[in-house]
Amino acid sequence: MADNILTITIGAILVNNFVLSKFLGICPFLGVSKKLKTALGMSGAVVFVMTLASLVTSLIYQFILSKSFSISGTVVNLTFLKILVFIVVIAALVQLVEIILQKFSPPLYQALGIFLPLITTNCAVLGAAELNVQAGRGVIESTVFGFCSALGFALALILFSSLREKLDLAKVPAPLQGTAIGLITAGILAMVFMGFSGLV
In this complex, which beta carbon is closest to another protein, that of residue 114 or of residue 199? 199
Q: Which of 74, 82, 32 is nearest to 57 (CA)?
A: 82
Residues 166-195 that bind another protein (CB under 8 A): 166-173, 176, 181, 184-185, 188-189, 191-195
* Residue 197 engages another protein in binding (rule: CB under 8 A): yes
Question: How many binding residues for another protein (CB under 8 A)?
Answer: 51
Whichever of 99 and 135 has its CB closer to another protein, that residue is: 99
Site membership for another protein, residue 23 (CB under 8 A): no
CA 135 to chain centre: 17
Choosing from 2, 74, 134, 136, the residue that interacts with another protein (CB under 8 A) is 74
Shortest Cβ 197–another protein spacing (Å): 5
Positions in 92-131 near another protein (CB under 8 A): 92, 95-96, 99-100, 102-104, 106
Give the nearest distance from C-beta 9 to another protein in angstroms: 13
